[in-house]
Amino acid sequence: MTVSSHADLDALTRVGRLVARALREMRRAARAGMTTAELDEIGAAFLVRHGARSAPQLTYNFPGFSCISVNEQIVHGVPGSRRLEPGDVVKIDVTAELDGFVADAAATVLLAPASDEALRLKRCARAAFAKAMEIARPGRQINEIGRAIEDEVKRAGFSIVREMCGHGVGRTIHEAPTVPNYFSAMTRGTLREGMVIAVEPIISSRPTRVVEERDGWTLRTQQRCLAAHYEHTVMIRDGRPLLLTAA
Ligand code: MF3
Ligand code: CO
Ligand code: CO
């Protein structure tokens, strides 16, 4: 969406803060021994208490509140009986709706003892996001975001999962425009003041194809290499990126 009033901005700010706080609670709570369903419940309880709903549930009938994806699982992991283990790489992706507005954010949590590869992969996803934020200004091309992300990920020796892209967001989860995490000449469009997009580098430790698990939702790397994810809902505001889902 494009924000065109103070009321829009206030509502988006409210849902963005809730998503940020839910994600923070879940990151703090993540521990070896707990199931992903238990971790999901922590975010769900917080958001429901504040009047918010699961946007994946509302929009796609997703069987959980948030997406939790472990190790080789990339995104859209269904919370369930899988128990977190020491050394796990846990991607938590929270998308909530409040009063008709939607915010989307994700982070990667490493359970001790984190491997060196996991640490570098997680840092790379964040660094690629930070590079994208240098581009997120009015007048820049949407495909420059992908170029910035791709450059950073290649520099670190990791791979982009090209099947998954960032997207417009605000009134529902997935809106125009599509925001690829790599340079694509076919991606046309310019960032404008007021635009709201989810920027989300999704990367793997090696080049990989994407496989859907039997639950019909969870996407994982074909050779079971590690994946990391980092995401914020970003508004182009006063010539700069404003992170609506930052704590
Ligand atoms: N939060 C996801 C994203 O960043 C969307 C999840 S919707 C689901 O795009 F239904 F696939 F879970
Ligand atoms: Co998301
Ligand atoms: Co998203």
Residues 136-169 have pLDDT tens digits of 999 999 999 999 999 999 999 999 999 999 999 9
Task: Say if residue 44 is exposed, middle or buried (CB neighbours under 10 Å; 0-12, 13-18, 19+).
Answer: buried
Q: Which CATH class is domain 6-243?
A: alpha beta
Kindly give the number of the ligand 1 atom that is closest to the alpha carbon of 95.
1
What contacts 7, CB < 8 A, 6 or more positions away? none
Task: Say if residue 98 is exposed, middle or buried (CB neighbours under 10 Å; 0-12, 13-18, 19+).
Answer: buried
Q: Which residues contact ligand 1 via a Cβ below 6 A? A: 56, 60, 62, 67, 76, 93, 95, 104, 173, 198, 200, 231
What is the model's pLDDT at position 54? 99
Q: Cα(179) to centroid of ligand 1, in Å?
A: 14
> Using CA atoms, how far apart are residues 141 and 196, in angstroms rounded to an integer?
14
- List the Cα angle 119/123/129 in 5-degree steps: 155
Q: Cα(7) to centroid of ligand 2, in Å?
A: 24
What is the model's pLDDT at position 37? 99
CB contact at 8 A, 149 and 139: no
Q: Cα(105) to centroid of ligand 2, in Å?
A: 5
What global pTM score does this model have?
Answer: 0.99
What is the model's pLDDT at position 197? 99
Structure tokens that stand for 20 in this block: 């940020």
- pLDDT above 90 as % of the chain: 100
